[in-house]
Amino acid sequence: MNAIISASELASALSGAKPPVLLDVRWQLSIGKAAGEPPFDGRAAYRTGHLPGAVYVDLDSELASAPGGHGRHPLPDLAVFGAAMRRAGVSSATPVVVYDGGMGWAAARAWWLLRWTGHPDVRVLDGGLPSWEGPLLTSEPQPAEGDFVPVPAADGLLHADGAAALARSGVLLDARAGERYRGEVEPIDRVGGHIPGAVSAPTTENVGPDGRFLPAGELGARFAELGVSPSAPVGVYCGSGVSAAHEVLALAVAGIPAALYVGSWSEWSADPERPVAVGPDPQ
């Protein structure tokens, strides 16, 4: 099953016999919040217009736990996550499509969580809300309660020590912007740089100017150039486990399974005992 769906495919699916549950996960990283700027309000954006039938899901409170020692967006409490999914009408036997404002990061986080906790049929709307040409509604739907109960998989998730080991034994991709990987700037975390051995792979290079994913073949070629091969396990991290989920999604589009280090740089860099590499060289 493809991990993404086009707007035209979604329109057809919504008019079919088994329409998917729609989740609206609009969210933006707000670096300016530390300087007193108001954070982006995804729920307010949702109320100005959303896909028909879509239910809003909050990334910060339902797809993550409170910031702390495990990073800015640690794994959510599974009871909270499961309740949010059931409230939105998610059931194990019903397909789910997730979208956001177009960047795809937040939608990918929801996609990854649902897949990791056992949902068999989840896709992301390629290009997000800007790709949708149909009507938008402002009324909030009240779907029937779903039955989805999240059960974490035994694999697909990395912790700090596992990420460090993977950087030596496989391929660990750093999905942040290149200047943050090199340690030239660090607008959020304690120090700049990267996990020793990690390879710079900005997630922004997985999409075209319209925000839609590059074709699977082009993505596969890109990852091969970065050292990804069928024989090596792959993991991804970013600043706090959101944009890295988008890179895991890009890898899935290319047919490559990958694990996510959810704590990412916000967890790694908070521990002064963990090594930090700077510059363009992985080591």
The catalytic residue positions are 238
Inter-helix orientation angle 216-225/243-253, to 10°: 110
Tokens 């700077």 appear where? 278
Tokens 């086009």 appear where? 6
Instruction: Determine how many CB atoms are found less than 10 A away from the CB of residue 245.
Output: 30
The helix/strand count (H/E) of the chain reads as: 10, 10
Output the CA torsion 57→99→149→87 (10° steps). 40
Q: 37 to each of 32, 33, 41, 43, 258, how far by Cα in Å? A: 5, 5, 12, 17, 35
CA atoms within 13 A on the CB side of 181: 22
Strands 157-158 and 21-24: unpaired
Sequence-separated (6 or more) residues with CB below 8 Å from residue 262 = 70, 71, 73, 74, 75, 157, 158, 241
Closest by CA to 258, choosing from 271, 272, 244, 268, is 244
- 92 vs 212: CA distance, rounded Å: 27
214 near 208, Cβ under 8 Å? yes
